[in-house]
Amino acid sequence: MRIHILQFDERVGLGTFSGWITALGGEITTWRCDQDQWPEKETHEPVILLGGYMGVADRERLPYLQKSVDWLVTQVARKRPLLAICLGSQLLAHALGGKVYSRQRQEKGIIKIGVTAAGQHDPLFCNIPNPLVSFAWHSDSFDLPPGAWHLAETEICSGQTFRYHNAWGVQFHPEVDEQVVADWCRRTDMGTEPLEEFCRQQQIYFSHSRKLLENFLSFAAVADQR
């Protein structure tokens, strides 16, 4: 199965997902939205949208973000399997009518995420412990779009995960590794504490993150056969 990756920022890549997707038999095609590259609209092959240092509020300054929103509107309507991470989730929320906030509900570092009652019955969180352990690195946040199912939350940021038909938005980062976390800490002068905590909990983080990816790809494989 081919998996399309939408990358908005060269500094925010696929991380651990790259090796895991390959190990699971997937074929990766990366599209650089900041270079005006987009996946074909006609297939139902799954798409993973990555994060970025920019935000939804930068759409006028960075027109490719608005193009991403427009692309999302068409693909959600086609019920294409989508997994939107951090900035990707904010763009997805905006595309579906949710409100996105700049510099509100910020989180950085390892977090414990509570899965809601709806999330406990959702395929994305199948066989993942509650709470799940993940990694956050966001300054912006969103309210759930109208009609979306609320799947996961933290005390600081209630909008951690939502689902709308075959599209999921996850505010946290299930794809990072030690090198990525170290780079982000360096770029933002966060010191070493987020990296040290990540290293202490990386095994459980990797376990939960890989299972989440497997669940999404399993759903996408079944959806592609319908």
Active-site annotation holder among 33, 175, 185, 208: 175
Q: Is 214 a catalytic residue?
A: no
3-state SS, 6-54, equals EECCCCCCCCHHHHHHHHCCCEEEEEEHHHCCCCCCCCCCCEEECCCCC
Within 13 Å and on the Cβ side, how many CA atoms surround 18?
Answer: 12
Q: Is 199 a catalytic residue?
A: no
Helix ranges restricted to H, 46-163: 63-77, 87-95
Q: Find where tokens 């759409």 sit.
A: 59
Q: Is 173 a catalytic residue?
A: yes
Instruction: Give yes or no for a contact between 184 and 5, defined as CB atoms under 8 angstroms apart.
Output: no
Instruction: Give yes or no for a contact between 149 and 162, defined as CB atoms under 8 angstroms apart.
Output: yes
User: Rounded CA gap, 54 and 176, in Å?
Assistant: 18
Question: E strands of 154-192, at which residues?
Answer: 161-164, 167-170
Active-site annotation holder among 4, 33, 45, 86: 86
How distant is the alpha carbon of residue 220 from its chain centre?
15
Active-site annotation holder among 157, 173, 185, 208: 173
Instruction: Give yes or no for a contact between 104 and 69, defined as CB atoms under 8 angstroms apart.
Output: no
Give catalytic residues, as residue numbers: 86, 173, 175
